[in-house]
Amino acid sequence: LNGLSPKQNREVPPLDYGRVRRLKTRRPDLQIIINGGVLTAEQALALCRDVDGVMIGRAAYQNPFMLIETEEALFGRATVSGDRHDVVARMLPYIDTAAARGVPLHAVTRHMLGLFQGQPGARAWRRHLSENSCRAGANSETVQRALELVRHAETSLRSRDRAA
């Protein structure tokens, strides 16, 4: 990194999408894929109008549901349908299979921590998984309990909205 911190390395030099677009215009024969700084499905869609593709990294890791939203924005539908709760439900059999093979729960759930990013109950979800997925015997029930905390937060928010 030549003396740059990892954060600085992501910011210096600043991303120059205009330069990438000009390159694609001058050299349409080149396959140009933008990698870096894509934060939303809308941004990915806008960038894809000018280049051949977009890579999404940190934003998808921090908010995995973004991949479904991006797929819907780009292709009009997502391969995986449903909401975040459905994603969790679909993961439970995989978690059980992994646990039966001796894979610690945290090896799976660390990739799911951001699933409820920006949603009611996101903090409770992350906290429960972070504190409990490393414990001996942690399994899909641990994830189901975290999901119950999300549901409780969602219900509480709806109740407050109705009361207001």
Residue 57 pLDDT > 90: no
For the entire predicted model, the pTM comes to 0.76
How far is residue 76's CA from residue 62's CA, in Å, rounded to a whole number? 23
Q: List, for residues 11-38, the tens digit of each pLDDT value.
A: 767 788 999 999 999 999 999 999 888 8
Amino acid, res. 27: R
Q: CB pairs under 8 A, 24+ apart, for 125-133?
A: 125/149, 125/150, 133/104, 133/105, 133/106, 133/108, 133/109
Mean local confidence (pLDDT), 106-121: 95
What amino acid occupies position 98? Answer: A
Phi, psi of 110 (to 5 degrees): -60, -25
**Which pLDDT value is given to residue 12?**
65
Write the CB contacts of 82 (distance below 8 Å, at least 6 apart in sequence): 90
Q: Please determine, for residue 135, whether its predicted confidence score (pLDDT) is greater than 70.
A: yes
Q: Between these two residues, 41 and 126, which has the higher pLDDT value?
A: 126
Q: What is the rounded average pLDDT for all residues in the chain?
A: 90
